[in-house]
Amino acid sequence: MIVAHDTADPQPISGTIQIGEVEITHLSNAGFFFMCGEKKILIDALFRREEIPAEISLAVFGKIQKGLPPFDGIDMALATHAHGDHFDPYSAGKFLENNPEAIFISHNEARLLFEQEFSGFDEIQDRVVTVTLEKGETTELTENGIKLRILGMRHGGFYTGKNYGYLFEMGGLKILHMGDSLLTLSEIEVFQLSQEEIDVVFINWWYLIDNKYVETVREGIKAKQVVVMHNELKNFEDKTVDIDWVLERVEAEFPDAIVFYGVPEVKEEPPGEKSLEEGTMEEGLPPEKSSEEARTEEKGYFLIIPVLIISAAIVMILLKKR
Protein backbone atom coordinates (compact mmCIF):
# COMPACT_ATOMS: atom_id res chain seq x y z
CA MET A 1 0.00 0.00 0.00
CA ILE A 2 1.26 3.47 -0.92
CA VAL A 3 0.05 6.36 1.24
CA ALA A 4 0.40 9.78 -0.38
CA HIS A 5 0.02 12.76 1.94
CA ASP A 6 -0.99 16.19 0.67
CA THR A 7 0.37 19.47 2.01
CA ALA A 8 -0.31 23.12 1.30
CA ASP A 9 3.12 23.64 -0.28
CA PRO A 10 2.47 24.49 -3.95
CA GLN A 11 6.10 24.08 -5.05
CA PRO A 12 6.24 21.27 -5.80
CA ILE A 13 2.64 20.17 -5.63
CA SER A 14 2.59 17.18 -3.32
CA GLY A 15 0.51 14.06 -3.72
CA THR A 16 1.73 13.42 -7.27
CA ILE A 17 2.33 9.91 -8.60
CA GLN A 18 3.41 8.53 -11.96
CA ILE A 19 1.64 5.51 -13.46
CA GLY A 20 3.09 4.60 -16.82
CA GLU A 21 3.29 7.81 -18.84
CA VAL A 22 0.51 9.54 -16.86
CA GLU A 23 1.24 11.98 -14.05
CA ILE A 24 -1.60 12.04 -11.51
CA THR A 25 -1.87 14.78 -8.90
CA HIS A 26 -4.32 14.64 -6.03
CA LEU A 27 -5.70 18.13 -5.42
CA SER A 28 -8.13 17.39 -2.60
CA ASN A 29 -10.96 15.04 -1.71
CA ALA A 30 -11.94 13.41 -5.04
CA GLY A 31 -10.22 16.11 -7.11
CA PHE A 32 -7.45 15.00 -9.47
CA PHE A 33 -5.28 16.44 -12.23
CA PHE A 34 -4.20 14.04 -14.99
CA MET A 35 -1.40 14.96 -17.39
CA CYS A 36 0.32 13.08 -20.19
CA GLY A 37 2.28 15.05 -22.77
CA GLU A 38 0.04 17.91 -23.88
CA LYS A 39 -3.19 16.26 -22.70
CA LYS A 40 -4.59 17.46 -19.37
CA ILE A 41 -7.81 16.59 -17.52
CA LEU A 42 -9.31 17.82 -14.25
CA ILE A 43 -11.92 15.74 -12.41
CA ASP A 44 -13.86 17.04 -9.38
CA ALA A 45 -11.18 19.71 -8.95
CA LEU A 46 -13.35 22.84 -9.31
CA PHE A 47 -15.02 22.58 -5.95
CA ARG A 48 -16.18 25.03 -3.28
CA ARG A 49 -13.03 25.53 -1.28
CA GLU A 50 -14.86 26.23 1.98
CA GLU A 51 -16.05 22.61 1.91
CA ILE A 52 -12.48 21.32 2.40
CA PRO A 53 -10.48 24.42 3.41
CA ALA A 54 -7.44 22.80 5.01
CA GLU A 55 -6.62 20.36 2.26
CA ILE A 56 -5.56 22.65 -0.61
CA SER A 57 -3.69 25.93 -0.43
CA LEU A 58 -4.96 29.22 -1.79
CA ALA A 59 -1.92 29.30 -4.07
CA VAL A 60 -2.69 25.98 -5.76
CA PHE A 61 -6.40 26.70 -5.92
CA GLY A 62 -5.68 30.07 -7.50
CA LYS A 63 -3.42 28.52 -10.14
CA ILE A 64 -6.19 26.13 -11.12
CA GLN A 65 -8.69 28.99 -11.42
CA LYS A 66 -6.34 31.17 -13.44
CA GLY A 67 -4.97 28.41 -15.64
CA LEU A 68 -1.37 28.93 -14.54
CA PRO A 69 1.27 26.19 -15.01
CA PRO A 70 0.95 23.31 -14.62
CA PHE A 71 -2.81 23.89 -14.93
CA ASP A 72 -2.59 25.70 -18.27
CA GLY A 73 -3.93 24.18 -21.47
CA ILE A 74 -6.50 21.97 -19.75
CA ASP A 75 -8.48 19.99 -22.34
CA MET A 76 -11.48 19.11 -20.21
CA ALA A 77 -12.79 19.52 -16.68
CA LEU A 78 -15.31 16.98 -15.39
CA ALA A 79 -17.63 17.00 -12.38
CA THR A 80 -19.07 13.69 -11.23
CA HIS A 81 -21.92 15.47 -9.43
CA ALA A 82 -22.97 18.85 -8.10
CA HIS A 83 -22.02 18.60 -4.41
CA GLY A 84 -19.89 21.52 -3.22
CA ASP A 85 -16.85 19.35 -2.48
CA HIS A 86 -16.84 18.24 -6.13
CA PHE A 87 -18.23 21.23 -8.05
CA ASP A 88 -18.73 24.94 -7.51
CA PRO A 89 -20.23 27.17 -10.25
CA TYR A 90 -18.04 30.14 -9.36
CA SER A 91 -14.76 28.19 -9.31
CA ALA A 92 -15.69 26.35 -12.51
CA GLY A 93 -16.88 29.56 -14.17
CA LYS A 94 -13.68 31.49 -13.43
CA PHE A 95 -11.67 28.49 -14.63
CA LEU A 96 -13.52 28.46 -17.97
CA GLU A 97 -13.09 32.23 -18.36
CA ASN A 98 -9.33 31.86 -17.92
CA ASN A 99 -9.03 28.69 -20.02
CA PRO A 100 -10.74 29.53 -23.34
CA GLU A 101 -10.06 26.13 -24.93
CA ALA A 102 -11.24 23.99 -22.01
CA ILE A 103 -14.51 22.04 -22.09
CA PHE A 104 -16.56 21.41 -18.94
CA ILE A 105 -18.68 18.24 -18.77
CA SER A 106 -21.27 17.19 -16.20
CA HIS A 107 -25.03 16.71 -15.86
CA ASN A 108 -27.93 19.14 -15.81
CA GLU A 109 -27.76 19.79 -12.05
CA ALA A 110 -24.35 21.42 -12.52
CA ARG A 111 -25.57 23.45 -15.50
CA LEU A 112 -28.55 24.77 -13.52
CA LEU A 113 -26.20 25.93 -10.76
CA PHE A 114 -24.05 27.65 -13.39
CA GLU A 115 -27.09 29.51 -14.73
CA GLN A 116 -28.29 30.51 -11.26
CA GLU A 117 -25.04 31.44 -9.54
CA PHE A 118 -22.40 32.45 -12.11
CA SER A 119 -23.03 35.86 -13.65
CA GLY A 120 -20.71 35.25 -16.61
CA PHE A 121 -22.42 32.05 -17.71
CA ASP A 122 -23.55 33.46 -21.08
CA GLU A 123 -19.90 33.87 -22.15
CA ILE A 124 -18.91 30.29 -21.29
CA GLN A 125 -22.10 28.30 -21.90
CA ASP A 126 -20.94 27.04 -25.32
CA ARG A 127 -18.18 25.11 -23.54
CA VAL A 128 -20.45 23.59 -20.89
CA VAL A 129 -21.47 20.15 -22.14
CA THR A 130 -24.52 18.65 -20.44
CA VAL A 131 -25.10 14.90 -20.51
CA THR A 132 -28.36 13.36 -19.27
CA LEU A 133 -28.16 9.77 -18.06
CA GLU A 134 -30.20 7.68 -15.66
CA LYS A 135 -28.68 5.01 -13.43
CA GLY A 136 -27.33 2.16 -15.53
CA GLU A 137 -27.16 4.20 -18.73
CA THR A 138 -23.95 5.05 -20.56
CA THR A 139 -22.82 7.20 -23.47
CA GLU A 140 -19.61 8.18 -25.22
CA LEU A 141 -18.33 11.49 -26.53
CA THR A 142 -15.06 12.98 -27.74
CA GLU A 143 -13.90 16.49 -26.85
CA ASN A 144 -10.51 18.08 -27.59
CA GLY A 145 -9.22 14.76 -28.88
CA ILE A 146 -10.10 12.80 -25.72
CA LYS A 147 -12.65 9.98 -25.90
CA LEU A 148 -14.80 9.73 -22.80
CA ARG A 149 -17.28 7.10 -21.66
CA ILE A 150 -19.80 8.44 -19.14
CA LEU A 151 -21.62 6.10 -16.76
CA GLY A 152 -24.86 6.90 -14.91
CA MET A 153 -24.31 5.70 -11.34
CA ARG A 154 -26.01 5.83 -7.95
CA HIS A 155 -24.58 8.23 -5.38
CA GLY A 156 -23.79 6.57 -2.08
CA GLY A 157 -25.45 7.40 1.24
CA PHE A 158 -28.76 9.21 1.60
CA TYR A 159 -28.25 11.52 -1.38
CA THR A 160 -30.33 10.35 -4.35
CA GLY A 161 -29.03 12.75 -6.99
CA LYS A 162 -27.00 11.83 -10.03
CA ASN A 163 -23.38 10.75 -9.94
CA TYR A 164 -21.41 10.07 -13.10
CA GLY A 165 -18.43 7.79 -13.53
CA TYR A 166 -15.86 8.76 -16.17
CA LEU A 167 -13.78 6.27 -18.15
CA PHE A 168 -11.08 7.62 -20.47
CA GLU A 169 -7.77 6.66 -22.05
CA MET A 170 -4.55 8.59 -21.55
CA GLY A 171 -0.99 7.54 -22.26
CA GLY A 172 -2.09 4.01 -23.06
CA LEU A 173 -3.91 3.66 -19.73
CA LYS A 174 -7.63 3.14 -19.18
CA ILE A 175 -8.64 5.23 -16.16
CA LEU A 176 -11.99 5.15 -14.32
CA HIS A 177 -13.07 7.80 -11.78
CA MET A 178 -16.14 6.69 -9.79
CA GLY A 179 -16.95 9.94 -7.97
CA ASP A 180 -19.20 9.33 -4.96
CA SER A 181 -20.85 6.22 -6.36
CA LEU A 182 -21.61 3.20 -4.21
CA LEU A 183 -22.71 0.26 -6.36
CA THR A 184 -23.30 -3.40 -5.72
CA LEU A 185 -21.85 -5.98 -8.07
CA SER A 186 -25.18 -6.44 -9.87
CA GLU A 187 -25.52 -2.67 -10.34
CA ILE A 188 -22.09 -2.25 -11.89
CA GLU A 189 -22.24 -5.35 -14.08
CA VAL A 190 -24.60 -3.56 -16.52
CA PHE A 191 -21.59 -1.48 -17.63
CA GLN A 192 -19.47 -4.58 -18.36
CA LEU A 193 -16.44 -2.81 -16.91
CA SER A 194 -14.69 -6.07 -16.08
CA GLN A 195 -14.24 -6.51 -19.84
CA GLU A 196 -12.67 -3.07 -20.33
CA GLU A 197 -9.24 -4.08 -18.96
CA ILE A 198 -9.13 -0.97 -16.78
CA ASP A 199 -5.68 0.01 -15.55
CA VAL A 200 -6.56 2.44 -12.73
CA VAL A 201 -9.81 2.93 -10.80
CA PHE A 202 -10.48 5.75 -8.33
CA ILE A 203 -12.97 4.75 -5.61
CA ASN A 204 -14.47 6.47 -2.58
CA TRP A 205 -13.36 4.98 0.75
CA TRP A 206 -16.89 3.78 1.50
CA TYR A 207 -16.44 0.90 -0.96
CA LEU A 208 -14.51 -0.61 1.97
CA ILE A 209 -17.41 -0.57 4.46
CA ASP A 210 -18.89 -3.89 3.37
CA ASN A 211 -17.53 -6.94 1.60
CA LYS A 212 -20.29 -6.72 -1.02
CA TYR A 213 -18.84 -3.38 -2.17
CA VAL A 214 -15.31 -4.76 -2.08
CA GLU A 215 -16.63 -7.43 -4.45
CA THR A 216 -17.88 -4.65 -6.74
CA VAL A 217 -14.33 -3.35 -7.13
CA ARG A 218 -12.64 -6.72 -7.26
CA GLU A 219 -15.04 -8.56 -9.57
CA GLY A 220 -17.10 -5.85 -11.26
CA ILE A 221 -14.19 -3.62 -12.32
CA LYS A 222 -11.04 -5.75 -12.08
CA ALA A 223 -8.68 -2.78 -12.35
CA LYS A 224 -4.95 -3.40 -12.17
CA GLN A 225 -4.47 -0.47 -9.75
CA VAL A 226 -6.92 0.77 -7.09
CA VAL A 227 -6.74 4.35 -5.79
CA VAL A 228 -8.75 5.17 -2.64
CA MET A 229 -9.90 8.80 -2.44
CA HIS A 230 -12.29 11.12 -0.56
CA ASN A 231 -10.25 10.63 2.62
CA GLU A 232 -9.99 14.22 3.85
CA LEU A 233 -10.23 14.34 7.62
CA LYS A 234 -13.41 16.43 7.47
CA ASN A 235 -15.17 13.46 5.86
CA PHE A 236 -14.79 11.42 9.05
CA GLU A 237 -16.36 13.94 11.44
CA ASP A 238 -19.23 12.39 13.43
CA LYS A 239 -18.51 8.96 11.91
CA THR A 240 -17.56 5.73 13.63
CA VAL A 241 -14.59 5.23 11.30
CA ASP A 242 -11.43 7.25 10.71
CA ILE A 243 -8.47 7.30 8.36
CA ASP A 244 -6.69 4.61 10.39
CA TRP A 245 -9.66 2.30 9.82
CA VAL A 246 -9.55 3.08 6.09
CA LEU A 247 -5.85 2.28 5.94
CA GLU A 248 -6.39 -1.01 7.77
CA ARG A 249 -9.20 -1.99 5.40
CA VAL A 250 -7.16 -1.07 2.34
CA GLU A 251 -4.22 -3.10 3.62
CA ALA A 252 -6.51 -6.07 4.14
CA GLU A 253 -8.49 -5.91 0.88
CA PHE A 254 -6.25 -4.07 -1.62
CA PRO A 255 -2.68 -4.22 -0.28
CA ASP A 256 -1.24 -2.72 -3.47
CA ALA A 257 -3.65 0.24 -3.50
CA ILE A 258 -2.71 3.91 -3.40
CA VAL A 259 -4.38 6.05 -0.72
CA PHE A 260 -4.52 9.85 -0.84
CA TYR A 261 -5.49 11.95 2.14
CA GLY A 262 -4.81 15.39 3.51
CA VAL A 263 -2.72 16.34 6.52
CA PRO A 264 -4.82 18.09 9.20
CA GLU A 265 -2.08 20.47 10.39
CA VAL A 266 -1.89 22.21 6.99
CA LYS A 267 -1.72 25.98 7.45
CA GLU A 268 -2.68 28.74 5.04
CA GLU A 269 -0.02 31.04 3.62
CA PRO A 270 0.59 34.07 5.85
CA PRO A 271 -1.62 36.99 4.71
CA GLY A 272 1.40 39.11 3.85
CA GLU A 273 2.63 36.55 1.33
CA LYS A 274 -0.60 35.96 -0.56
CA SER A 275 -0.27 39.14 -2.60
CA LEU A 276 3.11 37.95 -3.86
CA GLU A 277 1.79 34.60 -5.11
CA GLU A 278 0.79 34.69 -8.75
CA GLY A 279 -1.71 31.93 -8.09
CA THR A 280 -3.88 33.75 -5.58
CA MET A 281 -7.59 33.28 -6.11
CA GLU A 282 -9.69 35.55 -8.29
CA GLU A 283 -11.12 38.61 -6.58
CA GLY A 284 -14.83 38.51 -6.05
CA LEU A 285 -14.98 34.96 -4.74
CA PRO A 286 -17.89 34.74 -2.28
CA PRO A 287 -16.54 34.86 1.30
CA GLU A 288 -16.07 31.53 2.95
CA LYS A 289 -18.30 30.61 5.85
CA SER A 290 -16.74 29.80 9.19
CA SER A 291 -17.28 26.29 10.48
CA GLU A 292 -19.55 27.74 13.17
CA GLU A 293 -21.65 29.57 10.57
CA ALA A 294 -21.90 26.41 8.49
CA ARG A 295 -23.05 24.39 11.50
CA THR A 296 -25.60 27.06 12.45
CA GLU A 297 -26.93 27.10 8.89
CA GLU A 298 -27.15 23.31 8.84
CA LYS A 299 -29.07 23.29 12.13
CA GLY A 300 -31.41 25.88 10.67
CA TYR A 301 -32.28 23.58 7.80
CA PHE A 302 -33.16 20.76 10.18
CA LEU A 303 -35.35 23.08 12.30
CA ILE A 304 -37.30 24.18 9.23
CA ILE A 305 -38.31 20.63 8.31
CA PRO A 306 -40.48 19.88 11.42
CA VAL A 307 -42.04 23.34 11.20
CA LEU A 308 -43.09 22.65 7.61
CA ILE A 309 -44.48 19.23 8.55
CA ILE A 310 -46.54 20.67 11.43
CA SER A 311 -47.80 23.50 9.22
CA ALA A 312 -48.89 21.04 6.54
CA ALA A 313 -50.72 18.93 9.13
CA ILE A 314 -52.62 21.98 10.43
CA VAL A 315 -53.66 22.92 6.90
CA MET A 316 -54.94 19.38 6.27
CA ILE A 317 -56.99 19.44 9.49
CA LEU A 318 -58.55 22.80 8.59
CA LEU A 319 -59.42 21.57 5.09
CA LYS A 320 -61.11 18.45 6.49
CA LYS A 321 -63.24 20.59 8.85
CA ARG A 322 -64.55 22.46 5.83
Range of the domain at 215: 2-288
Q: Same domain for 91 and 219?
A: yes
Q: Same domain for 284 and 295?
A: no
Query: Is there a contact between 87 and 44 (Cβ–Cβ < 8 Å)?
Result: yes
- Out of 41-50, 70-79, 223-232, give the one with best mean pLDDT: 70-79
CA angle 106, 110, 113 (to 5 degrees): 160
**CATH classification of the domain holding 11:** 3.60.15.10
Query: Is there a contact between 194 and 220 (Cβ–Cβ < 8 Å)?
Result: yes
Give the number of domains in the chain: 2
Q: Same domain for 77 and 165?
A: yes
Q: Quick one: CA torsion of 269, 99, 27, 125, rounded to 10 degrees?
A: 120
DSSP-based three-state secondary structure for 129: strand
Q: Same domain for 135 and 76?
A: yes
Q: Same domain for 282 and 321?
A: no
Spatial CB neighbours of 12, under 8 Å, sequence gap ≥ 6: none
Per-residue pLDDT at 209: 84
In this structure, the strands spanning 22-28 and 76-78 are: unpaired
Q: Which amino acid is at 256?
A: D
Q: Same domain for 176 and 227?
A: yes
Task: Assess whether pLDDT exceeds 90 at residue 23.
Answer: yes
Q: Same domain for 270 and 151?
A: yes
Q: Same domain for 161 and 179?
A: yes
Q: Same domain for 89 and 229?
A: yes
Provide DSSP, 215-265.
HIIIIII--SEEEEE---GGGGTTSS--HHHHHHHHHHH-TT-EEEEE-TT
Q: Same domain for 84 and 7?
A: yes
Per-residue pLDDT at 153: 94
Mean residue pLDDT across the chain: 79
Query: Is there a contact between 20 and 199 (Cβ–Cβ < 8 Å)?
Result: yes
d(CA 169, CA 146): 8
Q: What does the pLDDT average to over 42-50?
A: 84
Q: Same domain for 168 and 306?
A: no
Q: What does the pLDDT average to over 114-124?
A: 91
d(CA 112, CA 275): 34
d(CA 4, CA 322): 66
Provide long-range contacts, Cβ within 8 A and 24+ apart, for 15-21.
15/260, 17/258, 19/173, 19/199, 19/200, 19/225, 20/171, 20/172, 20/173, 20/199, 21/171, 21/172, 21/173
Per-residue pLDDT at 244: 82
pLDDT level of residue 54 (50, 70, 90 thresholds): low
The model carries a pTM of 0.78
Percentage of the residues of the chain whose pLDDT score is greater than 90: 47
d(CA 273, CA 288): 19
Per-residue pLDDT at 84: 76
Q: Same domain for 309 and 160?
A: no
Task: Assess whether pLDDT exceeds 50 at residue 290.
Answer: no
Query: Is there a contact between 87 and 46 (Cβ–Cβ < 8 Å)?
Result: yes
In this structure, the strands spanning 76-78 and 103-106 are: parallel
- Centroid of chain to Cα 107: 14
